[in-house]
Amino acid sequence: MDFKFTEDEEAFRRKVHQWLKHEIPQRWTELDPGIWEETEESWALAREFQRKLGQKGWIAPAYPKEYGGLELSHMKRLILSEELAYNRTPMSIEEEITVNWVGPSIMLFGTEKQKKEYLTRIARGDVIFCLGYSEPNAGSDLASLQTRAVEVGDEYVINGQKTWCSYGHLADYCWLAARTDPDAPRHEGISIFIVDMKTPGITVRPLINILNRHSFNEVFFDDVHIPRENLVGQKNKGWYQLVIALDLERSSIGYAAGNQRIIEELIKYVKETTRNGEPLANDCLTRNELAQLVVENEVARMMAYRIAWMFSKGLHPSYESSMSMVFVSEVMRRTANAGMRILGHYGELDRDSKWSVMNSRIMRMCLSSLSIGVGGGSNEIQRNIIAIRGLGLPRR
């Protein structure tokens, strides 16, 4: 057992940290968009920055070199993710989906042509995919999705409705799950497609999120014709591909690292704040609350480290990732709540007020953290996975 990073890994961390310190644009820091707070301006800044990151090979460091990756070790990828999140690097949630779900799926199931066409561009930060998974009646029960893809000659024709497509209005492609055999058992008739978002017949309608921002969309497909070669992997085997992709490396280390930063800011705040004529840092309830956040975040960090370590040993975590995800999502919500208690009235203020503290991060986190235990498999679904896959409890 050894909990330290090697000298080489520490040097890599310093290198990433230094680079980010110099390269993150001032304007981005001013805009300070948290998760689900993208605007068109911040999106453009993030895209531009991602291309810079891509030049360093740091967008998809795991990819083979021939596809623009660095074949970086799991531990260095862990460090990179930690630094990117801690330093609030310009990026959006779709980056994660594109790089960690779509890319690896193409690598595993795609044709040579698809690999050539997409992987390098993903690694360079040139393209962004949105997910076309959820539908109005297919949320947690994703396998009940109804969007149809019918093979007609050299094409597939798609009809149906997707929802919760984050940044679907800005993405280049949609990674779409559609039903190709309506008569087969529900897990046997789903296929995965790449759909260019500029294809005629696609209508994108905004859903305004709880932070009053346009991040999600409903996407309607009306007789959308796509080339047959945009099928990824085997027809009707999409469900299994999708499940494997969900298990691909998905370390929640970014969340823990981002949360770490918030906790540090809260600590700084209580040191600088006087309440009832006393430094807030002397208040024992506040100290207790902050200490508990530090404890929980350390547990979350160790859970995420464990995932990276398992990968580095050639093991394949599945329920362990669910544990890590559920845990950190709840730590983030508790951090937001504890932050609100500590800041009191000041925690309520939005950013346009001259009175706002910590750039209203706690108030925004109070809202944004509601999504973390819901999107990408709700915490209830994750707990089912832990119980059934991890502990072997019966389904029926």
Partner 1 sequence: MDLGLSEEQEMLKKSARDFLQRECPKKLVRQLDESDEGYSSELWRKMAELGWMGLAFPEEYGGSGRNFLDLAILLEEMGYNIVPGPFFSTVVLGGLTILTAGNEEQKMRFLPKIARGEMILSLALTEPTASYDAASVNTKAIARNGEYVIKGTKLFVLNANVADYILCVARTRKTKDPEDGITVFLVDARSPGLKCTLLKTLARDKQCEVVFDDVTVLEKSIVGKRDEGWPIVKAILQKAAVAKCAEMVGGAQAALDRAVNYAKERVQFGRPIGSFQAIQHYCANMAMDVGGSRFVTYKAAWRVSEDLPAALDAAIAKAWVSEAYGRVALSAHQIFGAIGFTMDHDIHLYYRQAKAAEIIFGGADFHRAIVARELGL
In the complex, which residues of this chain contact partner 1 (CB under 8 A)? 1-5, 75, 267, 270-271, 281, 284, 287-288, 290-292, 294-296, 298-300, 302-303, 305-306, 309, 312-313, 319-320, 323, 326-327, 380, 382-384, 386-388, 390-396
| Distance in Å, CB of 77 to partner 1, minimum | 12
> Would you say 222 or 298 has its CB closer to partner 1?
298
Q: What is the rounded distance in angstroms from the CA atom of residue 8 to the CA atom of residue 43?
A: 34
Q: Is the dihedral of CA 56, 58, 64, 66 positive or negative?
A: negative
Structure tokens given for 62: 């795991």
Q: What is the rounded distance in angstroms from the CA atom of residue 214 to the CA atom of residue 18?
A: 33
| Distance in Å, CB of 321 to partner 1, minimum | 12
Structure tokens given for 149: 């893809």
Q: What is 272-332 written as a DSSP string?
A: H-EETTEEGGG-HHHHHHHHHHHHHHHHHHHHHHHHHHHHHTT---SHHHHHHHHHHHHHH
| Distance in Å, CB of 355 to partner 1, minimum | 24
| Residue 243: its H or E element | helix 238-247
User: Which 3-state string (H, E, C) describes 333-345?
Assistant: HHHHHHHHHHHHH
| Distance in Å, CB of 380 to partner 1, minimum | 7
> Would you say 38 or 320 has its CB closer to partner 1?
320
> Would you say 71 or 272 has its CB closer to partner 1?
272
> Would you say 303 or 332 has its CB closer to partner 1?
303
| Distance in Å, CB of 309 to partner 1, minimum | 4
Q: What is 80-144 written as a DSSP string?
A: HHHHHHHTT-S--HHHHHIIIIIHHHHHHH--HHHIIIIIHHHHHT---EEEE--BTTBSSSGGG
Give CA angle at 94 (303, 315), nearest 5°.
Answer: 35
> Would you say 191 or 382 has its CB closer to partner 1?
382
| Distance in Å, CB of 58 to partner 1, minimum | 20
| Residue 317: its H or E element | none
> Would you say 121 or 301 has its CB closer to partner 1?
301
> Would you say 41 or 264 has its CB closer to partner 1?
264
> Would you say 70 or 267 has its CB closer to partner 1?
267
| Distance in Å, CB of 295 to partner 1, minimum | 5
| Distance in Å, CB of 359 to partner 1, minimum | 22
From the number of C-beta atoms within 10 Å of its C-beta (0-12, 13-18, 19+), residue 290 rates as buried
> Would you say 345 or 396 has its CB closer to partner 1?
396
Q: Three-state SS for 204?
A: strand
| Distance in Å, CB of 266 to partner 1, minimum | 10
Task: Tell me which residue of 246, 382, 375 sits closest to 327, measured CA to CA.
Answer: 382
Q: What is the rounded distance in angstroms from the CA atom of residue 131 to the CA atom of residue 148?
A: 16
Q: Which amino acid is at 142?
A: L
> Would you say 78 or 178 has its CB closer to partner 1?
78
Count the neighbouring beta carbons within 10 Å of the beta carbon of residue 208: 10
Do the beta carbons of residue 170 and residue 43 sit within 8 Å? yes
Count the neighbouring beta carbons within 10 Å of the beta carbon of residue 263: 18
Do the beta carbons of residue 235 and residue 66 sit within 8 Å? no
**Biggest CA-to-CA distance, the chain:** 78
| Distance in Å, CB of 187 to partner 1, minimum | 20
